[in-house]
A and B are shown apart, each in its own frame.
Chain A
Amino acid sequence: MNDVPAEGALARAQRVLHRIEDGVLALLLGAMVVLAPFQIGLRLFFDEGLTWADPLLRVLVLWVGMFGAISASRGDRHINVDVLSRILRGRARAMLGLAVHVFTTTVCLIVAWHSWTFVQTEREYGSVAFLDVPSWTLQLILPFAFSMIAIRYALYAAAEGSVVLGLRQPGTRSQPAGDPR
């Protein structure tokens, strides 16, 4: 669809990756949709609840949100103020795109790096989230998600870069989040 063009094996790898992403996202959301009402049922009918369910649900919110954010970076569908790029065309637009994507990639890499140190610290500290699950394993989503997003935007930057250098024809613009086809 709106992805960075790739050929052959690379395209196939990308498709598999997208499948896995969609699968994990569906699994996480599915777990949330089942677990949350189950917990209510327990409260209503048996006046009790699973002690680990509420913290798990809260973590699921973060994970679903982060996987959603990774998904939104597929096709550059993050929320933005899209004023100038509507006016620009061709090479100028590609140059602007290059600058913006490099910016996004850099920011995501910095956040990913500092999330990683955050995870390291937590790991040394050894706190437990619920049951026997250590907190740091749940926090891994942050460096992972920001790295994934950084990679996507680095690829967009590369694509725009090749347009700037005249190696490729300008492509079509992607659709933002919440903007249905």
Chain B
Amino acid sequence: MMGSLLLLLAALLGAPLFAVIAASALLGFSREEVDLSVVAIEIYRLAEMPVLLAIPLFTFAGYLLGESQAPRRLVRLTNALLGWMSGGLAIVALVACALFTAFTGASGVTIVALGALLYPALREANYPERFSLGLITTSGSLGLLFAPALPLILYGVVAQQMNLDPPVKIDDLFAAGLLPGLLMMVALSLYSVWHVRGQVREKRAFDYREACAAVRDSAWEIPLPLVVLGGIYSGFFALSEAAAVTALYVLIVEVAIRREIPLGKLPEVMRESMVLVGAIMIILGVSLASTNYFIDTEVPTRLFEIIRERVDSKFTFLILLNIFLLILGMMLDIFSALVLVVPIILPIAIGYGIHPVHLGIIFLANMQIGYITPPVGMNLFIASYRFERSVLDVFRATLPFLVILLATVLVITYWPGLSLYLVAD
């Protein structure tokens, strides 16, 4: 107990989470008098999961895209296709950010890469300042329910460690995220169009020529979502294979064909992307050890019994789950939350008859809100830094969007069919 409190303190004081988790595993195993090299054995299991290959490869591809002119082309393309609508530029921002986030793994790159293009464009078209700021900050994490976003993959990896029957398939998660993700986008789009009605000057006719030019401009990137999603959903590629093809393709296109990233810059892009991968992998590695300890000591089972005594309906449990996840999202980043909390709540949720795939979507949808809530919402800080506004200003600007996202999270939580409709049995 004393040890756990000290660890919690260390975490709150800013110690790297991997060290805190490693310490908890070391403490736990030494209390059980297990040889501590078991921790190393658990970390080494990172080399025994084929699906993990997808993580460095997709992340690398995402960073390459972010460094190239692809964000500019993506904005041009969506603008040409959707910009003619009233409030179209807001929808452009939402769609472009969601697509980009799906590929870059919701790591905050979106606000930097796309926000710098979209924010000035929105202001120019007379969108209110506060609205634009809130829209961009919120959009920065939109799309993490769409394949091949890193959090979806990571949830699958963690759930697969639980040896469920039947196992959670990552393809199923990809299918399940589609409609809930669309719901969020549609809700935010409707609000945006309604909010800015009559104040923006941008309505213009659909420009067929510009649309064609924009499509030609993005000709190399357009196949990407098709290859990744088509390849995975059709079963032609395994996830790690789709990642391999994506990484090589993006590398060839952006470095060799388009030459937008000079060869000399490549090591830096590699390093930057692998810093994120390394930070996630080491947390995943040590949490394999701590999870193993928790499961050995039957923590989830005992927790379930305690909760079961007090909470008898699935409905009440879901409400508590939402509250818990929202608070969790305020404190922890999505990756650490996934590897730490999913092993504990997944068995409990199954006990209440919640589908493991549905739980994944609930989990991520709640966590997405955590990106824009203080005290540690990453998007708030990145936007505050990027647009030179105080964190509090940014937070106030995102509030209406946050309320809408909350509403969609409730729909996603209490309507399992929305997530499970596209999942094959």
B47 contacts chain A at the CB level, 8 A cutoff: yes
A137 contacts chain B at the CB level, 8 A cutoff: no
Contact A177 to B17, CB < 8 A, known contacts A103-B10, A117-B37: no
Chain B hits for A85, CB < 8 A:
13-14
Contact A64 to B332, CB < 8 A, known contacts A23-B267, A81-B14, A100-B10: no
Closest to A64 in B: B56
Which of A5-13, A25-33, A161-169 is near enough to bind chain B?
A: A25-33
Chain B hits for A178, CB < 8 A:
107-109, 275-276, 279, 333, 378
Our pick among B22, B43, B52 for the contact of A61 (Cβ within 8 Å) is: B52
CB of B359, distance to nearest CB on chain A (Å): 23
Chain B hits for A111, CB < 8 A:
22, 26, 39-40, 43, 286
Q: Give 1 or 0 for each of B7-21: 1 = CB within 8 Å of chain A CB.
A: 000111111111100
B251:A118 contact, CB within 8 angstroms: no
Chain B hits for A70, CB < 8 A:
278
B60 contacts chain A at the CB level, 8 A cutoff: yes
A4 contacts chain B at the CB level, 8 A cutoff: no
Our pick among B14, B18, B52 for the contact of A83 (Cβ within 8 Å) is: B14
Which of B159-167, B240-248, B360-368, B398-406 is near enough to bind chain A?
A: B240-248
Compute how far the CA of A116 lies from the CA of B244 in the bound complex, rounded to whole angstroms: 32
B274 contacts chain A at the CB level, 8 A cutoff: yes
A142:B18 contact, CB within 8 angstroms: no
CB of B6, distance to nearest CB on chain A (Å): 9
Instruction: Scan residues 296-330 of chain B and give those whose CB is less than 8 A from a CB of chain A.
Output: none
B174 contacts chain A at the CB level, 8 A cutoff: no
Interface residues of B: mostly helix, strand, loop or mixed? helix
B36:A179 contact, CB within 8 angstroms: no
Instruction: Scan residues 99-129 of chain A and give those whose CB is less than 8 A from a CB of chain B.
Output: 99-100, 103-104, 107-108, 110-111, 114-115, 117-119, 121
A100:B36 contact, CB within 8 angstroms: no
Compute how far the CA of A54 lies from the CA of B47 in the bound complex, rounded to whole angstroms: 10
A34 contacts chain B at the CB level, 8 A cutoff: yes
CB of A77, distance to nearest CB on chain B (Å): 6
B415 contacts chain A at the CB level, 8 A cutoff: no
CB of B197, distance to nearest CB on chain A (Å): 34
A72:B275 contact, CB within 8 angstroms: yes
Chain B hits for A81, CB < 8 A:
11-12, 14, 17, 331-332, 376
Closest to A139 in B: B44
Compute how far the CA of A139 lies from the CA of B57 in the bound complex, rounded to whole angstroms: 22
Instruction: Scan residues 18-47 of chain A and give those whose CB is less than 8 A from a CB of chain B.
Output: 22-23, 25-26, 29-30, 32-34, 36-37, 39-40
Q: Give 1 or 0 for each of B271-290: 1 = CB within 8 Å of chain A CB.
A: 11011111111110110000
Contact A107 to B241, CB < 8 A, known contacts A32-B53, A84-B12: no
CB of A113, distance to nearest CB on chain B (Å): 8
CB of A124, distance to nearest CB on chain B (Å): 13
B274:A79 contact, CB within 8 angstroms: no
Compute how far the CA of A160 lies from the CA of B53 in the bound complex, rounded to whole angstroms: 37
Chain B hits for A181, CB < 8 A:
112
B17:A71 contact, CB within 8 angstroms: no
A36:B244 contact, CB within 8 angstroms: yes
A155 contacts chain B at the CB level, 8 A cutoff: no
CB of A68, distance to nearest CB on chain B (Å): 2
Chain A hits for B332, CB < 8 A:
81
Closest to A57 in B: B53
Contact A65 to B277, CB < 8 A, known contacts A96-B14, A114-B37: yes
A29:B60 contact, CB within 8 angstroms: yes
Instruction: Scan residues 152-205 of chain B and give those whose CB is less than 8 A from a CB of chain A.
Output: none
Chain B hits for A117, CB < 8 A:
37, 40
CB of A19, distance to nearest CB on chain B (Å): 9
Compute how far the CA of A115 lies from the CA of B26 in the bound complex, rounded to whole angstroms: 12
Chain B hits for A154, CB < 8 A:
none
Contact A25 to B18, CB < 8 A, known contacts A34-B248, A69-B278, A79-B335: no
CB of A102, distance to nearest CB on chain B (Å): 10
A83:B376 contact, CB within 8 angstroms: yes
Chain A hits for B275, CB < 8 A:
68, 71-72, 77, 177-178
A16 contacts chain B at the CB level, 8 A cutoff: no
B224 contacts chain A at the CB level, 8 A cutoff: no
Compute how far the CA of A119 lies from the CA of B378 in the bound complex, rounded to whole angstroms: 38
Q: Give 1 or 0 for each of B25-57: 1 = CB within 8 Å of chain A CB.
A: 010000000001101110110111110110111
A118:B13 contact, CB within 8 angstroms: no
Our pick among B43, B50, B240, B336 for the contact of A79 (Cβ within 8 Å) is: B336
6 additional A-B pairs beyond A82-B376, A104-B15, beta carbons within 8 Å, are: A64-B278, A65-B277, A79-B335, A81-B332, A110-B26, A118-B37
A-B pairs with beta carbons under 8 Å apart, 21 shown: A23-B267, A26-B271, A32-B53, A32-B57, A34-B248, A36-B244, A37-B245, A39-B244, A59-B47, A80-B17, A81-B11, A84-B13, A84-B14, A85-B13, A96-B13, A107-B23, A115-B37, A118-B41, A178-B107, A178-B279, A180-B108
Counting from the closest, the 7 A-B pairs by CB-CB distance are A68-B278, A65-B281, A36-B244, A78-B16, A68-B274, A69-B278, A177-B279
